[in-house]
Amino acid sequence: MMKHRLKAIDFFSGAGGLTNGFMAAGISVLAGIDNDGSCKETFERNNKGAVFLTKDITKYTPEDLKRDLNIKKSDNNMIFAGCAPCQFWSIIRTSKEKSKKTKNLILDFQKFVEYFRPGFVVVENVPGISSKKDGPMRNFIAALGSFGYNVARGVTDMSLYGIPQKRKRFTLLASRVSKISLPKSTSEKITVEDVLGAKNGFSKIEAGTKDKTNFLHTTAGLSKTNLERLRMTMKNGGDRSSWQNKKIYQLPCYASGEKKFYDTYGRMWWNKPSPTITTKFFSISNGRFAHPEENRAISLREGATLQTFPKDYEFVGKSIASVAKMIGNAVPPKFARIIGEQIIMSAKNR
């Protein structure tokens, strides 16, 4: 039995996916830190006992954190988790201008690790952050070594850990007090059909449905043309090939007949994990986010469920887009729990 219970601080916490998973594992989360204050109510409402600090980590200092939370240096039972915004290092082909400011946030996180030297460090990010020669992760890993940490790292596919979506992420666990390794994948493979559909509490709804309850089975509206496109799209994994050559439905960007990006406007498969749930999962034009058989994109709650949030997790936001951003940016709570349990096991063996 551990002498003292493990505790954690969730940097870049957002709406609390990692915090929720850590708490489920039995770790006491002291606080979430994020510069997006719109996440505060969602975070605190669902993660009792943890406070949300609205802070910009590029300006916030270790001394500020010491004052705000009264934590000490070299605490062997402390976990610092730093799952920074990662759009700049994503392989998704979007403009990187907006995300330039956040590309080196992991190095801002590093100053807290260096100052406090917690017992454990956790990082989850897009695979690109570790593969790029000019990426900050190499410097961060080298720094951890110089601080005396054992480091385990690799790219994990969360669908191999019982998460119902294909979500590849760079995962790093580091320990200053014990040996550490990444958790082993499980044989549990969960599909869309296992968690969505009427048998799982999701009634049939139409595009544009507004669910005013906390369940938020809410969907974005669709134009008449997009509704017709979906009606022509084969159920259970269909794509735009059934209508792309019909002039009135053809998408200008694919008018040349190029056979690429078939996930756009595509339906999910019932018998497979979903694609990666992004911040734009409410829109069929941003990926394979159409329901396997209903003529709509998946709802907010369906996206949250594919991210493994508990069904009673309450999201507080001003719009579909704001809630979807909280959900898509989160570390899936089930994966966070697995990581938390791995750290607990490491701590017991020190």
Q: What's the whole-number mean pLDDT along residues 247-255?
A: 77
pLDDT at 244: 84
Query: For residue 274, what is the DSSP state?
Result: B
Instruction: Examine the pLDDT at 285 and tell me if it is beyond 60.
Output: yes
String of DSSP letters for 36-85: -GGGHHHHHHHSTT-EEEE--TTT--HHHHHHHH---TT-TTEEEEE---
User: What pLDDT, on a 0 to 100 scale, did the predictor assign at position 92?
Assistant: 45
The one-letter amino acid at 180: I
Contact 124, 171 (CB under 8 A): yes
The answer to whether 163 and 190 are in contact (CB under 8 A) is yes
The pLDDT-based confidence of 254 (bands split at 50, 70, 90) is low
Element (H, E) at 305: helix 300-306
Question: pTM score > 0.85 for this model?
Answer: yes
Give the number of C-alpha atoms closer than 13 A to the C-alpha of residue 147, restricted to the C-beta side.
Answer: 25
- Cα 9 from Cα 27, distance rounded (Å): 10
Confidence at residue 311, expressed as pLDDT on a 0 to 100 scale: 98
Q: Which residues are paired to 120 by β-bridges?
A: 79, 175
Confidence of residue 94 (pLDDT cuts 50, 70, 90): very low
> What band does 54 get if pLDDT is binned at 50, 70 and 90?
very high
Contact status, residue 272 vs residue 193, Cβ threshold 8 Å: no
Query: Which amino acids are annotated catalytic?
Result: 86
Host H or E run for residue 30: strand 28-34
- The answer to whether the CB of 317 falls within 8 A of the CB of 38 is yes
pLDDT digits (tens, 9 = 90+) for 216-237: 999 999 999 999 999 999 999 9
pLDDT at 258: 58
CA 32 to chain centre: 15
Closest CA to 12 of 92, 114, 80: 80
pLDDT for residue 252: 76
CATH 3.30.70.20 fits 7-187+331-348, yes or no: no
pLDDT tens column, 188-223: 899 999 999 999 999 999 999 999 999 999 999 999
Whole-number Å distance between alpha carbons of 330 and 130: 19
* Residue 219 to residue 103: CA distance in whole angstroms: 32
pLDDT, residue 256, reads 57
Whether residue 226 contacts residue 284, with contact meaning beta carbons closer than 8 Å, is answered with yes
pLDDT recorded at residue 103: 57
How many helical (H) and strand (E) elements, i.e. helices and strands, does the chain have? 11, 7
Residue 275: other Cβ atoms inside 10 A: 19
Query: Residues 6 or more apart from 196 whose CB is under 8 A from it?
Result: 202, 292, 298, 302, 305, 306
CA distance 164 to 149: 32
What does the alpha-carbon distance between residue 278 and residue 332 come to, in Å, rounded to a whole number? 12
Polymer length in residues for the chain: 350
Q: Chain-wide mean pLDDT for the chain?
A: 91
**Cβ atoms of residues 173 and 183 within 8 Å:** no
Burial per residue of 90-100, b for 16 or more beta-carbon CB atoms within 10 angstroms, e otherwise: beeeeeeeeee
- What are the structure tokens assigned to 160, written together? 């191999």
Record the tokens describing residue 322, joined without a space.
Answer: 């704001």
CB-based contact 168:183 (threshold 8 Å): no
Question: Please, how many CA atoms are within 13 Å of residue 208, restricted to the half-sphere of its CB?
Answer: 6
Choose among 275, 239, 17: nearest CA to 164: 275
